[in-house]
């Protein structure tokens, strides 16, 4: 008797699957989705949602400024240069996949001579010959840089398990569960500073205060008191074979969004999200917004809302939440502001204690150097040999007298202030991907580390969560309601 019941249960389940496959669910379960934010996180979410819902969805994507977010370019002397996220790691699977899918091209990072500056002197300078650079590295730090690189590679290899997990449909509601799925030790890295972690591994303070600190100053504008995981991500960003997208990294979110016929771009600022509970207990969200050309407040209702923006109290376009059990979804921490200054000029090598120009000058002590890094730029098209356009990162706007001390023949200056990434510490709050029943937050992943690939991973996780939750709560009920097995399915399931 039990065997017969089990067989019948499986037959009912299989019938339900067949009904789903034949389109009953897709016909009746077409979600209306709002994505707030048109950067790489929002773009990745729209792409993965479209795949998961098999093109059976409507997406309104709200962007208050420009599609691309922190992936942006700036025009200097008639050429376009990367102004935001500029470097992609060779093992960043989703960014590689997007570039291939969209028919874009890689722009390899060309080898440039780099030095480390402490404000008084250049403490390390690369050579034109790679072997000589290795010898100089060993002379100053021994073999520790190579040992540390192997350790960082092992961290990356463990982290790459996320791709297999997501391919299998695994979902994570918060950052700890995501890290735990890849390695039980990973969540602990959020509680220890990169300095203490590397010291415990047996590396010298000299290596930490110079090489490790330099990568953090350059990539995140911060010191070695950040948590260990973001510290290792920063070290990975100092690797080889780094690349970017020809024409600008912003082309990835632009093409993912504008080529998707199921995405309607709404050039508007979202000001409020209200949780509405209707008669059949299905949650709906009412999004209030006004567009760039009007102050009139408009509203629209959605089954799913995805926030692909930072949730911080001092964000540029604040959003209020109403009708939720907890209306405060904002992080108690803040985002770090970094200033990107673009200068068309001739470098003064003597300011840095150099005899001749170098392509990149990196700081290991921004309190003394004022700047975090300075680098000669190539255009996003990869042209311009021996360019005289430079990009300077600093934690504060550069005064004109400082620029004139560093450069001669200054012809053009442009500055952009970015709320670029979180202020990292070892007291990271438990950032959540799922804020409410069908309200999700892509940028929770940035509290692990901020990078293009991290945003894409966060986007896919949120897409998987939204699809799973919507199907469980809505589509299965629709199958029950519309199929001829309505009563039977309710009884058996």
Extract the runs of DSSP E, i.e. beta strands, from 25-102: 32-36, 58-62, 73-76, 79-82
DSSP secondary structure of 158-200: HHTHHHHHHHTT---SBHHHHHHHH-TTGGGGGGSBHHHHHHH
Contact of 422 with 333, CB cutoff 8 Å: yes
**What are the distances in angstroms from CA 427 to CA 127, 232, 274, 454?**
40, 17, 31, 20
DSSP secondary structure of 209-278: IIIIHHHHHHHHS--TTSBHHHHHHHHHTTSSS-EEETT-TTHHHHHHHHT-TTEEEE-EEEEEEEEEE-
SS (HEC) of 112-159 = CCEEEECCCCEEEECCCCHHHHHHHHHHHHCCHHHHHHHHHHHHHHHH
How many of the other CB atoms lie within 10 Å of CB of 152? 19
- Go through the domains of the chain in sequence order and give each one's CATH number: 24-68+249-330+431-492 (3.50.50.60), 73-171+184-247+333-422 (3.90.660.20)
How many of the other CB atoms lie within 10 Å of CB of 493? 13
Supply φ then ψ for residue 452, to 5 degrees: -55, -45
Closest to 269 in 3D by CA, of 305, 320, 319: 319
Write b or e for each residue in 328-347: b if 16 or more Cβ atoms lie within 10 A of its Cβ, otherwise e.
ebebebebbbbbbbbbbbeb
Give me the tens of pLDDT residue by residue for the chain, a chain 493 residues long. Answer: 444 444 445 544 544 454 444 344 445 579 999 999 999 999 999 999 999 999 999 999 999 999 999 999 999 999 999 999 889 999 999 999 999 999 999 998 776 789 999 999 999 999 888 899 999 999 999 999 999 999 999 999 999 999 999 999 999 999 999 999 999 999 999 999 999 999 999 999 999 999 999 999 999 999 999 999 999 999 998 877 889 999 999 999 999 999 999 999 999 999 999 999 765 556 799 999 998 777 789 999 999 999 999 999 888 889 999 999 988 899 888 999 999 999 999 999 999 998 888 899 999 999 999 999 999 999 999 866 678 999 999 999 999 999 999 999 999 999 999 999 999 999 988 899 999 999 999 999 999 999 999 999 999 999 999 999 999 887 665 555 555 445 554 555 5
Pairwise CA distance, residues 145 & 152, whole Å: 10
The pLDDT score that the predictor gives to residue 307 is 98
Residues in the chain: 493
Residues 6+ apart with CB under 8 A from 365: 118, 119, 213, 217
How many of the other CB atoms lie within 10 Å of CB of 221? 22
Question: Any bridge partners for residue 32, and if so which?
Answer: 58
Q: Cα dihedral sign for 464, 466, 469, 473?
A: negative
Contact of 446 with 422, CB cutoff 8 Å: yes
């Amino acid at each position: 008797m039990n065997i017969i019941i089990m067989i019948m249960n499986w037959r009912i389940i299989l019938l339900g699957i067949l009904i789903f496959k034949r389109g009953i669910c897709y016909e009746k379960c077409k979600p209306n989705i709002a994505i707030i934010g048109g950067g790489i996180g929002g773009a990745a979410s729209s792409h993965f949602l479209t795949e998961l819902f098999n093109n059976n969805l409507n997406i309104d994507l709200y962007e208050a400024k420009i599609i691309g977010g922190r992936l942006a370019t700036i025009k200097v002397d008639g050429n376009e240069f990367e102004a935001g996220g500029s470097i992609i790691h060779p093992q960043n699977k989703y960014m590689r996949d997007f570039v291939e899918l969209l028919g874009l091209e890689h722009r390899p990072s060309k080898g440039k001579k780099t030095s480390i500056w402490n404000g008084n002197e250049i403490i390390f300078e690369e050579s034109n010959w790679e072997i000589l650079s290795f010898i100089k590295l060993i002379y100053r730090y021994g073999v520790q840089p190579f040992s540390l690189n192997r350790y960082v590679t092992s961290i990356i290899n463990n982290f790459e398990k996320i791709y297999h997990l997501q391919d299998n449909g695994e979902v994570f509601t918060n950052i700890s569960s995501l890290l735990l799925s890849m390695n039980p030790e990973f969540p602990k890295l959020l509680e220890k500073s990169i300095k203490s972690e590397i010291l415990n591994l047996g590396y010298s303070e000299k290596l930490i205060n110079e090489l490790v600190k330099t990568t953090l100053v350059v990539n995140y504008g911060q010191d070695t008191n950040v948590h260990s995981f973001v510290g290792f991500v920063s070290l990975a960003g100092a690797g080889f074979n780094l690349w970017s997208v020809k024409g600008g990294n912003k082309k990835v979110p632009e093409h993912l969004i504008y080529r998707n016929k199921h995405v309607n771009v709404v050039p508007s600022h979202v000001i409020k999200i209200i949780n509405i509970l209707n008669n059949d207990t299905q949650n709906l969200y009412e999004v209030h917004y006004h567009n760039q050309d009007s102050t009139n407040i408009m509203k629209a209702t959605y089954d799913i809302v995805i926030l692909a923006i930072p949730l911080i109290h001092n964000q540029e376009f604040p959003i209020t939440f109403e009708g939720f059990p907890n209306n405060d979804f904002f992080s108690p921490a803040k985002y770090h502001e970094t200033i990107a200054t673009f200068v068309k000029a001739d470098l003064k090598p003597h300011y840095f204690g150099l005899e001749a120009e170098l392509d990149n000058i990196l700081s290991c002590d921004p309190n003394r150097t004022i700047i975090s890094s300075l680098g000669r730029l190539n255009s996003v098209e990869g042209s311009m040999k021996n360019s005289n356009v430079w990009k300077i990162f600093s934690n504060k706007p550069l005064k004109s007298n400082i620029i004139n001390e560093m450069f001669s023949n200054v012809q053009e200056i442009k500055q952009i202030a970015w709320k670029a990434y979180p202020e990292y510490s070892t007291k990271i709050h438990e950032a959540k991907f799922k804020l409410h029943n069908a309200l999700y937050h892509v940028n929770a992943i940035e509290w692990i580390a901020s990078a293009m690939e991290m945003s894409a991973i966060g986007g896919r996780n949120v897409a998987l969560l939204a699809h799973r939750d919507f199907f469980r709560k809505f589509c299965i009920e629709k199958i029950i309601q519309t199929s001829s097995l309505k009563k039977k399915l309710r009884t058996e399931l």
